[in-house]
Amino acid sequence: MHSTTQLIELGAIILGLGLLGAVAVRFSVSPIPLYLLAGLAFGSGGVLPLTTSEDFVSVGAEVGVILLLFTLGLEYTADELVTTMRTSAPVGLSDLALNAVPGVATALLLGWGPVAAVALGGITYVTSSGITAKVMGDLGRLGNRETPSVLSVLVFEDLTMAAYLPILTALLAGAGLLGGLFALLAAAVTIGLILFVALRHGDVVQRFVASPSREVLLLKVLGLTVLVAGLAQQLQVSAAVGAFLVGIALSGPLAHDARQLLSPLRDLFAAVFFVFFGLHTDPADLPPVAGIAALLAVVGVVTKLATGWVAARRAGVGPAGRLRAGTALVPRGEFSIVVAGLAVGAGTNPRLGPLAAAYVLILAVAGPLLARSADSLARAVAASGGGRRA
* 215-273 per-position pLDDT tens digit: 999 999 999 999 988 887 776 566 777 787 788 788 778 888 888 899 888 888 878 87
Nearest by Cα to 114 from 123, 124, 122, 104: 104
**260-to-54, 158, 217 alpha-carbon distances in Å:** 29, 22, 11
Nearest by Cα to 189 from 170, 168, 163: 163
Residue 387 has pLDDT above 50, yes or no: no
pLDDT at residue 135, as a whole number: 76
Amino acid at site 149: S
**282-to-33, 354, 361 alpha-carbon distances in Å:** 15, 7, 15
* CA–CA dist 146, 139 (Å, integer): 13
DSSP class of 237: S
Q: In which band, very low, low, confident or very high, does the pLDDT at 290 lie, cut at 50, 70 and 90?
A: very high
Residue bearing the bigger pLDDT, 381 or 73:
73
* CA–CA dist 169, 236 (Å, integer): 7
Highest mean pLDDT: which range of 167-171, 238-242, 381-385: 167-171
User: In whole numbers, what is the pLDDT of the chain averaged over residues?
Assistant: 81
pLDDT at residue 51, as a whole number: 62
Amino acid at site 155: V
* CA–CA dist 275, 286 (Å, integer): 16
Query: Are residues 72 and 247 in contact, defined by beta-carbon separation less than 8 angstroms?
Result: yes
Tell me which of 168-172, 347-351, 363-367 is least confident: 168-172
DSSP class of 285: G
Tell me which of 6-20, 37-51, 205-219, 283-297 is least confident: 37-51
pLDDT at residue 263, as a whole number: 85
Q: What is the pTM of this model?
A: 0.75
**258-to-197, 207, 261, 296 alpha-carbon distances in Å:** 19, 13, 5, 37
* CA–CA dist 334, 131 (Å, integer): 9
Find the Cα–Cα–Cα–Cα dihedral 383, 134, 167, 205, rounded to 10°.
Answer: -120
- Mean local confidence (pLDDT), 294-306: 96
Domains of the chain: 2-383 (1.20.1530.20)
Q: How many CB atoms lie within 10 A of CB 364?
A: 28
Residue bearing the bigger pLDDT, 180 or 304:
304
Q: In which band, very low, low, confident or very high, does the pLDDT at 2 lie, cut at 50, 70 and 90?
A: low
Tell me which of 90-99, 190-199, 329-338 is least confident: 190-199
pLDDT digits (tens, 9 = 90+) for 128-142: 877 787 777 777 777
Q: Quick one: how far is CA 388 from the chain centroid?
A: 34
* CA–CA dist 64, 333 (Å, integer): 13
Q: How does DSSP assign 3-35, residue by residue? A: HHHHHHHHHHHHHHHHHHHHHHHHTT--SHHHH
* CA–CA dist 124, 202 (Å, integer): 34
Query: Are residues 191 and 241 in contact, defined by beta-carbon separation less than 8 angstroms?
Result: yes
Residue bearing the bigger pLDDT, 86 or 226:
226
Q: In which band, very low, low, confident or very high, does the pLDDT at 291 lie, cut at 50, 70 and 90?
A: very high
